Chains A and B, each alone.
Chain A
Amino acid sequence: MAEEKKYDIVVIGAGPGGYCAAIRAAQLGFSTAVIEKRPTMGGTCLNIGCIPSKALLDSSEYFTYALHGLAGHGIKVGSVLLDCASMMARKERIVAQLTKGVESLLRQNHIAVLPGNAHFLNSSHIEIDSPSGKDVVFANRAVIIATGSLPAVLPSLPVDGVTVVDSTGALSFTEPPKSFAVIGGGAIGLELASVWARLGSNVTIIELAAQLLPGWDSQSAKLIQRLLTKQGMRVITGGTVIAVNLNDNKAILTVRNGNAEESVEADRVLVAVGRRPWTGGLNLGGVGIEPDPKTGRVTVDKNYMTSCDKVYAIGDLIAGPMLAHKASAEGVAAVERIAGKAGSINYEAIAGVVYTSPEVAAVGRCEDDLKARSIAYKSGIFQFKANGRAMAMDRTDGFVKVLADTVTDRVLGVQIVGPNAADLIAQAVTVIEFGGSAEDMARITQAHPSLSEVIKEAALDVEKMAIHAPPVARE
């Protein structure tokens, strides 16, 4: 038996939550170790999530623009061909570069990386099972569980990795499937649908709820549905897959939509119906931690501590949106609180982004939410098509919507559908963090010409004072 290693803080999982927690711990002077079962660092995000998908989204966007968009600029292009293997290789290079980068950061911060699968012997002793044997580590101050999540399964449609895939599989097709059915119209489903639609697949998106992106601003969801349809994807909302027939490397899905039933044929099917927290093999029960049976989430207090003393949990494991930046922020906050500092997160100011084209981004509350809670609000909206920069970029679809409190004018939420929404939303996040008002957003001068001006005009529109929109009748 190898000798026991002792650390102040042991982090289980080197995804965005885990590695950020570890680095912050090292900064604060704790001796730190990270246990990771994957040979590369970065968790789902870097290896099979955010990063590879964004690489493919950008590559495929260039492909489709080369095919359809360049001519409008007066650029004549011959035949545009796809070398899928190269596209995938590029994606892999980016992933490798980033995972090596995290490895390097961990090493430079003198954080021990312990490969293998972790399980609790007790609240401060963790056994690590690896090809080279079993090791035990002792955590003096805390254990932080950051094991993340896995794609949720549809019992009726198990993933076989060939015809029926999950997001990991859909990131590595060797060529665009002729027909591609995506079950689940959330962020992941829409992004992967977009990648392959752009690369030539016949795509059908099947979403259970009445709108795509359930839970998101309904106006944004309606617009993105219209735009994805214009891009050649078929969208079925309110649809349930009631039967599956798998034969001959093809899938025939029976989809019920209200009273109607139809058959959707696909060479490949992506099951993207959400993600579930992953705590398998950890032996949480052995330390008295019971995840919620329905959601799989682990309950923590405001210090991110679980029901077991000195054991913490962050990221996709606990309540809140399953977002990498939320996990990272929680990793840092948890460690700061362990150190007796006051790290905290403003959950009202965490943006969500969907990397379709155009991008969809939102922070704070949406109209549907405010209406449901009977909160009085006023709103302003402005279209990208009226913006000079957007016109020059040939990216004119979309809008910015600003929601503000009727009485105090405080910004309650901002939704963006449009080019670079993921970056533009940062301004709204900042204003919300500082408790700013719509008038503040409206009076902050933005560079011209820039996409940011759309935000300014939308904020001006809250009081119907937009300069670049036709005058609104004022009572």
Chain B
Amino acid sequence: MKKEIVVPEIGESVAQGIIVSWLIKNGEKISEGEALFELETEKATVTVPSTASGVVEILTAPGTTVKIGETVARIDTEVGPSAQPAAETNFGEKKIPPLPPSVRRIVEENRIDTNTITGSGKGGRITKADALNAAATTVAASTDNAGKPITIKNAAVSPSEKVPLTNRGQTRVPMTLLRKRTAERLMRAQAQAVYVTTFNEIDMSNVSAIRVHYQENFEKTHGIKIGFMSFFVKACCKALKTFPELNAQVDGETIVYNNTYDIGVAVSTEKGLIVPVIRNADLLTFAEIESAVATMAARAREGILTPDELTGGTFTITNGGVFGSLMSTPVPAYPQSAILGMHAIKKRPVAVDDQIVIHPLMYVALTYDHRIIDGKQAIGFLVSIKDFIEYPDKLLLEM
């Protein structure tokens, strides 16, 4: 008899988890109560014991996201001593209609369990579009071969992928999975959305003065330096409340307005640009924002961000200024509809009260999806940001 092994209830409000690793090989015998697999949820990583004795048939690959109650293995309890090892692990190939060739490829390349895909094709078949969408949502939750908690570092490159083929002055390097997926997502987003970028410049004098004046005390009080990011995040949250379309997303023919302000802050790492999300940024204090940014950045560079920290953002701030960029046209992080780009702060001559003075200025760029955001809103948003940064008292006084 084959007993189904399901993902057990871990705690309330935990609906899914990721199988980190199997603690027994496919085809081996296990006793009831013996440790079978490791499951990572947003709360904790737990070791799940087997609920039967017999020969294990693993059905779901490590790194796959599974739902509570989902069958992930089978134990053949009626097995004699000379039992043959179970067949090679299939990534969830159960009773489903035959998969089209494109879907077979995508599902295998992205290690997707086809049981988690709802087919929109004829008779519930999984179409290429369904598979592509499923692959897109696993980009942030990149899987890892070694079975450790999800790491961006490990998922990006496996040793065999980096073999360069040299040919007359060129070196060909296959794209890493991360880069391939990033490229695919960007292309797909670009094909559907209509991106326009609007620019403005911000006089950073006031906010710089505040920083300088309060820096020592702030650090003493809160244990973290005050940077520009907290001002920008606060300003964005305020402006997003006035211009809700910039915090919205397109879903087919529906506009989905997000009522939370989960701001992604782009961080550059060796492997590429990562965008951890600061949840409910509108509810955080300046110190909390600075702390979150610093923590996320550190974790991103170490490659230990969890999927939860990387998905679900509603708006993103990126900063090319750290590399010296003066002006740029950033691309929104699909499926978000807008992105704010900060740039290098440069001292420039400006006219203030008809006098020429030297002030530190920053160009800012806002790229937005013109399908749901009009020029007026985009420009208005950017002008608001400029206003709040140039006159931070307005943030304080909630003007």
Contacts and interface: CB of A to CB of B under 8 A. Distances in A.
A409 B132 CA distance: 10
Interface stretch (B123-131, B150-158, B354-362): B123-131
Interface string B115-156: 000001110010111001000000000000000000000000
A443 B106 CA distance: 13
Contacts of B188: 407
Contact of B102 (A376, A406, A433, A439): A439
Interface string B92-109: 000000001110010000
Nearest to B133: A408
Contacts of B120: 435
B192 interface: yes
A443 B125 contact: no
A464 B105 CA distance: 18
A238 interface: no
B128 A407 contact: no
B121 A435 contact: yes
Contacts of A408: 127-129, 132
Interface string A388-407: 00000000000000000011
Q: Please report whether the interface of chain B is mostly helix, strand, loop or mixed according to DSSP.
A: helix
A410 B101 contact: no
Interface size bracket, A side: 10 to 19
Contacts of B121: 434-435
Contacts of B129: 407-410, 437
Interface string A408-445: 11100000000000000000000001111101100110
Given A376-B191, A434-B121, A434-B122, A410 B127 contact: yes
Nearest to A431: B100
B191 A440 contact: no
A439 B192 contact: no
A443 B122 contact: no
A440 B122 contact: no
A409 B102 contact: yes
A443 B127 CA distance: 14
Given A434-B122, A443-B101, A443-B102, A410 B128 contact: yes
Nearest to B123: A434
B191 A444 contact: no
A437 B192 contact: no
Interface string B191-205: 110000000000000
Nearest to B125: A434
Nearest to A435: B121
Contacts of A409: 102, 128-129, 132
Given A376-B191, A407-B188, A434-B121, A440 B132 contact: no
Nearest to A409: B128
B101 A440 contact: yes
Contact of B100 (A376, A406, A433, A440): A440
Interface string A246-287: 000000000000000000000000000000000000000000
A406 B127 contact: no
Contacts of A435: 120-122, 125, 127
A439 B101 contact: yes
B97 to A, nearest CB: 10
B102 A440 contact: yes
Interface size bracket, B side: 10 to 19
A374 to B, nearest CB: 11
A407 B192 contact: yes
Contacts of A443: 101-102, 105
Contacts of A410: 127-129
B108 to A, nearest CB: 13
B191 A436 contact: no
A292 to B, nearest CB: 31
B208 to A, nearest CB: 42
Contacts of A436: 100, 127-128
Nearest to A434: B122
A433 B188 CA distance: 24
Given A407-B188, A410-B127, A444 B101 contact: yes
A409 B128 CA distance: 7
A51 to B, nearest CB: 32
Nearest to B122: A434
Contacts of A407: 129, 188, 191-192
Contacts of A434: 100, 121-122, 125
A440 B192 CA distance: 22
Interface in B268-298: none
Interface in A423-475: 433-437, 439-440, 443-444
Nearest to B128: A437
B325 to A, nearest CB: 24
Given A434-B122, A444-B101, A439 B128 contact: yes
Interface string A214-251: 00000000000000000000000000000000000000
Nearest to B131: A437
Interface in B169-194: 188, 191-192
Contacts of A376: 191
Interface string A353-395: 0000000000000000000000010000000000000000000
Nearest to B120: A435
A304 B191 CA distance: 39
Contacts of B105: 439, 443
Of the listed residues B100, B105, B129, B192, the one surrounded by the most CB atoms of chain A closer than 10 A to its CB is: B100
A410 B129 CA distance: 8
A367 B192 CA distance: 19
B70 to A, nearest CB: 27
A295 to B, nearest CB: 31
A409 B131 CA distance: 11
A236 to B, nearest CB: 41
A21 B188 CA distance: 45
Interface string B28-43: 0000000000000000
A407 B129 CA distance: 8
A409 B102 CA distance: 10
B122 A437 contact: no
A376 B188 CA distance: 11
Given A408-B128, A410-B129, 11 more contacts: A406-B191, A407-B191, A407-B192, A409-B132, A434-B121, A435-B127, A436-B127, A436-B128, A437-B102, A437-B127, A437-B129
Interface of B: 100-102, 105, 120-122, 125, 127-129, 132, 188, 191-192
* 10 A-B pairs with the lowest CB-CB distances in the bound complex, closest first: A443-B101, A408-B129, A439-B102, A437-B128, A440-B100, A435-B121, A406-B191, A440-B102, A437-B102, A435-B127
6 contacts: A407-B129, A407-B188, A434-B121, A435-B120, A439-B128, A440-B101
